[in-house]
Amino acid sequence: MSDTCLFCKIIRGEIPSTMVYEDDEFVAFKDIAPAAPIHLLLVPRQHIVSLQDVGPADREWLGRMMALVPQIAFDNGCEPGPAGGFRVVANSGAHGGQEVDHLHLHIMGGPRPWSARSIPNA
Ligand code: AMP
Ligand code: ZN
């Protein structure tokens, strides 16, 4: 946990959010500036800065995080199947366009067209 990190504050409930999923390892909440009709952020409770900071020792929880994506997407309105689906984005570091330095997956879906911000910070 970081005292100053925005997402750690959201996880601790110090900053309001619209939570859509919580377990003992991960939370998911609605992005405050959605780039798609459905735009969620899936975040590990552990303060890990970005994908640049993970390695082989992180395989298991990263696997659990990825495996949660379809469940969270479909529970929140993304449509299954080839005509539906979703986009998953992990911005990492300045060159990756990351603004909040706590690892997170953007889960975006819903009927197109999406907003011009369809790839966050692109
Ligand atoms: P990134 O650029 O990948 O670090 O994405 C950070 C995301 O966090 C952006 O899409 C923001 O819209 C989103 N965001 C920033 N502040 C909040 C907040 N208080 N609640 C929910 N989402 C937020
Ligand atoms: Zn954090």
Tens digit of each residue's pLDDT, the chain (122 residues) = 888 999 999 999 999 999 999 999 999 999 999 999 999 999 999 999 999 999 999 999 999 999 999 999 999 999 999 999 999 999 999 999 999 999 999 999 999 999 776 566 65
Q: Please tell me the residue having the least CA distance from ligand 1 atom 19.
A: 32
Distance 93 CA to ligand 1 centre (A): 14
Quick one: pLDDT at residue 62? 98
Quick one: pLDDT at residue 1? 81
Specify the pairing of strand 19-22 against strand 86-89. unpaired
Distance 63 CA to ligand 1 centre (A): 23
- Whether 106 is a known active-site residue: answer no
Quick one: pLDDT at residue 120? 65
Quick one: pLDDT at residue 121? 61
Quick one: pLDDT at residue 103? 98
CATH number of 6-115: 3.30.428.10
Strand intervals (E) in 1-120: 19-22, 26-30, 38-44, 86-89, 105-109
Angle at 115 between CA 112 and CA 118, to 5 degrees: 85
Nearest ligand to the CA of 120 is 1
